[in-house]
Structure 1
Amino acid sequence: MEQPSESERGQGPAAGRKVLLHPLLVTVPVGCWIAGAVFDVVSRAATRPGEFTTASTWLVALGLIGAVVAGLAGFVESLPIPVGSVAHRRFVVHLMLASMVIVLYMVDYLMRLGAPPDRPVPTGLLVFSLANTVVLVVTMGTGAAIRATSR
């Protein structure tokens, strides 16, 4: 009779690894916010800018909801990281940046509520949206650094 392979016995390269929800869940707010920034830029050149302005407002709102869910999952998944370790210090930096990103996008959303929905995104809001995207990308990098350190 043939012996089961390592992967069939659960001893292969992926044995003992658990699937983390946070890296999967953050794709929702990141995708929404980046798509929102793209729509903001497109609204400046579109023949019907209101559609892109409205869509980007909805994307910012959906991103906020997704960020709260992803953040809760990330916090729970970070609990086993030993306090004082390099991974924990990186987690604290990531948590502070992620919290700042959420606040920035809340401000972004509130600013959008005061902007006319049938016109292109105002220049100031466009610049703010693009700046938020830069902070978002930096925050993503700190999250990746945590994962690389905690393996």
Structure 2
Amino acid sequence: MKMLEVTVDGHPLHPALVAVPIGAWIASFVFDIASHLVGDPGFLVTGARWLIGIGVLGAVAAALAGVLDLLTLRAGTRVFRVAVTHMAINGTVVVAYAIGFLWRATSDQAGGEPVGWGPLALSAASLAGLTAGGYLGGELAYRYGVRVAAEAIQQHTKEGS
């Protein structure tokens, strides 16, 4: 019995979906920094918060596809452990960004002030975590061929590591 695989025209969906949160969260950080460099930062503060929210929603969609990909891996193998670590790091990042979104929604930014240093630091730390999780995602795709290589290669890697 073949596991359910989330694909579009044979291409895995998870790698395509991760572009949304990665792009949104990088852009939000650029907006955060820029809010400290302009005279009227209100539009940047609002934009950064909504980019974070878009990123969280996109990450949830990507995670759902990623979990289905995880279920195709053989438990107990090195590739499975890397995938679980990738999932745990990125799950932590999503929670951190969700907290950041709520923090920004409840903070008093109505006065046209730049993004606070606390939310800015949380975003920077979250981006660092996203980088680590993304590195492991690259390992899964490029080193282990998960959802990229031919099934025979994937099966050899899943059983041999």
TM-score (norm 2): 0.79
SS of corresponding position for 1:134? helix
Superposition RMSD in Å: 1.4
Structure 1 unaligned regions, length at least 5: 1-17
1:42 alignment partner in structure 2: 34
- Alignment pair present for 1:66 and 2:44: no
Q: Does 1:86 align with 2:78?
A: yes
- CA distance in structure 1 between the partners assigned to 2:59 and 2:51 by the alignment: 12
Counterparts of 1:2-151 in structure 2 under 5 Å? Answer: 18-115=10-107, 116-117=109-110, 118-147=112-141, 148-149=143-144, 150=146, 151=149
Q: Which runs of 4 or more aligned residues in structure 1 lie more than 4 Å from their structure 2 counterparts after TM superposition?
A: none
Following superposition, the deviation at residue 34 of structure 1 comes to 0.7
State the 1:63 CA deviation.
0.4
Percent of pairs identical after alignment?
34
Which has the larger displacement, 123-132 or 59-68? 123-132
Q: 1:7 aligns to what?
A: none
Using the TM superposition, give the Cα deviation of residue 78 of structure 1 relative to its aligned residue in structure 2, in angstroms: 2.0
Q: Residue 38 of structure 1: SS of its match in structure 2?
A: helix
Count of aligned residue pairs for this structure pair = 135
